[in-house]
C-alpha cells in the first residue's frame, strides 16, 4: 500500500508541477474542481451504467467536429 500511495502522490505532484508551470496557457480552462463521492457497489454500478448511457447519447448527437472543438 505504501508503494502504491508513493507512486500515486509522485504522479499527482508531477501533474501539478506541470500544470503550474504552464498555467497561463490554459486560459479559462485553468479553473477546475475535484470531488469525492462514496457509493455502494450497487450504486457505483448504476452510476457507471447511467454515465455510459449519457456519454453514448452525447456522442451520437455530436459525432462530427465543430468549430471551436
Phi, psi of 39 (to 5 degrees): -125, 150
Residue 28 structural domain: 2-61
Whether the per-residue pLDDT at 14 is higher than 90: the answer is: yes
pTM over 0.85: no
Mean pLDDT of 50-54: 97
The answer to whether position 66 is within a domain reads no
Mean pLDDT of 22-44: 85
Distance CA 69, CA 60 (A): 16
Decide if 16 contacts 8 (C-beta within 8 A).
no
Distance CA 20, CA 14 (A): 10
Mean pLDDT of 36-52: 96
The answer to whether position 46 is within a domain reads yes
Position with higher pLDDT, 62 vs 45: 45
The answer to whether position 69 is within a domain reads no
Amino acid at each position: 500500500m505504501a508503494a502504491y500511495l508513493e507512486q500515486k502522490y509522485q504522479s499527482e505532484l508531477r501533474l501539478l508541477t506541470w500544470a503550474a508551470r504552464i498555467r497561463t496557457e490554459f486560459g479559462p480552462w485553468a479553473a477546475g474542481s475535484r470531488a469525492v463521492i462514496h457509493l455502494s457497489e450497487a450504486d457505483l454500478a448504476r452510476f457507471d451504467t447511467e454515465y455510459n448511457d449519457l456519454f453514448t447519447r452525447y456522442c451520437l448527437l455530436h459525432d462530427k467536429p465543430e468549430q471551436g472543438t
